[in-house]
Amino acid sequence: MPMIRVEMYEGRTPEQKRALVRALTDAFVETAGGTPDAVQIVLTDVARGDWAAAGILASDK
């Protein structure tokens, strides 16, 4: 059973998350095969203060 993990900044609405998981599921099934029932997705909301790139917190940009 495939597992897709998505880490993203917090703040998306439930409607946006619903659309995202539907699109990810459809894309996986279309490109890799399988059935939608087999696709598992975990969304993790991360605060900008807990995300950094190039030594800089996203909240400081």
Q: How many CA atoms lie within 13 A of 51 on its CB side?
A: 12
pTM for this model (two decimals): 0.90
The rounded distance, in Å, linking the Cα atoms of 19 and 40 is 15
The pLDDT, as a whole number, for residue 39 is 98
Pick the catalytic residue: 1, 2, 54, 56?
2
Vertex 34, ends 32 and 35: CA angle to 5°?
Answer: 130
- The reported pLDDT for the residue numbered 30 is 98
Q: What is the mean pLDDT of residues 41-55?
A: 98
Q: What is the pLDDT of residues 6-39, one digit of tens each?
A: 999 999 999 999 999 999 999 999 999 999 999 9
pLDDT at position 42, please? 98
User: What is the C-alpha to C-alpha distance for residues 61 and 56, in angstroms, rounded to an integer?
Assistant: 8
List domains and CATH numbers for the chain: 3-60 (3.30.429.10)
- DSSP strands (E only) in 1-61: 3-9, 40-46, 52-53, 56-57
pLDDT of residue 22: 98
Is 36 assigned a catalytic role? no
